[in-house]
Amino acid sequence: MYLEDFFGMIFVIGIVCAVLFLVVCLPLWLILHYSRSKRAHRILAREDREELQRLEDHAEELSERVDTLEKILDHSAPRWRRTHTERE
């Protein structure tokens, strides 16, 4: 009889702990986790935007250089485009 009461108390204590965890700890942990994750995502997004802007500026500079080189080649060697396409 004593053993059954002991296991019954252990079972009740386990259920109470599980309910407290589900009601208190789990929601608090989820709220803190996602708020921290959201903050980190915002920081990374800003850094990514800055990096993308820098890369876009660099790509525009390179595009201007290619255009300039093509103009120089068009003037100095007008058939360079045909020669280039024939090789491919």
| Spatial distance between the Cα atoms of 78 and 59, rounded to a whole number of angstroms | 26
Residue 80's pLDDT band (boundaries 50, 70, 90)? confident
Residue 23's pLDDT band (boundaries 50, 70, 90)? very high
Query: pLDDT averaged over the chain?
Result: 86
Domain assignment of residue 50, yes or no: yes
Range of the domain at 61: 21-87
- pTM here is 0.47
Q: Quick one: pLDDT at residue 87? A: 60
Q: Which residue would you say has higher pLDDT here, 49 or 44?
A: 49
% of the chain exceeding 90 in pLDDT: 50
Domain assignment of residue 16, yes or no: no
Domain count, the chain: 1
